């Protein structure tokens, strides 16, 4: 079953665009089994970024976190984040654009 992840992160003031640039690079994601990695801004909160992800499976998602490019992106972004995250795991069952 495809795995969905909906999350948000808060950036330190003035760094949202820097973090967006890192997230939208998406190096190696497709090869790692990612179908969607949508990055978006919260229209009512200038320091908040949302991501909506779809992966082949939860295992593909977990494995991707061990990739060098993922670890490098996280290390690059972390100093610009406050540490406030939300995350929701979803079991994707279908719908337009999912497969």
Stretch that binds a copy of itself, among 20-28, 65-73, 75-83 (CB under 8 A): 20-28
Q: One symbol per residue from 29 to 48: x for binding a copy of itself (CB under 8 A), - otherwise; what is it?
A: xx---xxxxxxxxxxx----
Stretch that binds a copy of itself, among 59-67, 68-76, 77-85, 89-97 (CB under 8 A): 89-97
Residue 31: burial class (beta carbons within 10 Å; 0-12, 13-18, 19+): exposed
Q: With CB under 8 A, what is the number of residues at the site for a copy of itself?
A: 34
Q: One symbol per residue from 54 to 73: x for binding a copy of itself (CB under 8 A), - otherwise; what is it?
A: x-------------------
CA atoms within 13 A on the CB side of 65: 4
Separation between Cα atoms, residue 27 and residue 67, nearest integer Å: 10
Stretch that binds a copy of itself, among 60-68, 70-78, 85-93 (CB under 8 A): 85-93
Separation between Cα atoms, residue 74 and residue 19, nearest integer Å: 10
Tokens standing for residue 13: 């003031």
**29, 58, 8, 21: CA torsion to nearest 10:** -10
Catalog residues that contact a copy of itself under the rule CB under 8 A: 4, 6, 20, 23-24, 26, 29-30, 34-44, 50-52, 54, 88-98
């Amino acid at each position: 079953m495809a795995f969905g992840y909906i999350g948000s992160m808060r950036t330190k003031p003035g760094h949202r665009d820097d973090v967006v640039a890192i997230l939208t690079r998406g190096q190696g994601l497709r090869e790692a089994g990612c179908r969607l990695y949508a990055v978006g801004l919260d229209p009512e909160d200038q320091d908040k970024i949302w991501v909506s992800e779809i992966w082949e499976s939860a295992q593909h998602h977990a494995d991707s976190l061990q990739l060098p490019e993922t670890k490098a992106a996280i290390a690059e972004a972390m100093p610009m984040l406050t540490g406030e995250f939300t995350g929701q795991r979803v079991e994707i069952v279908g719908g337009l654009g999912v497969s």
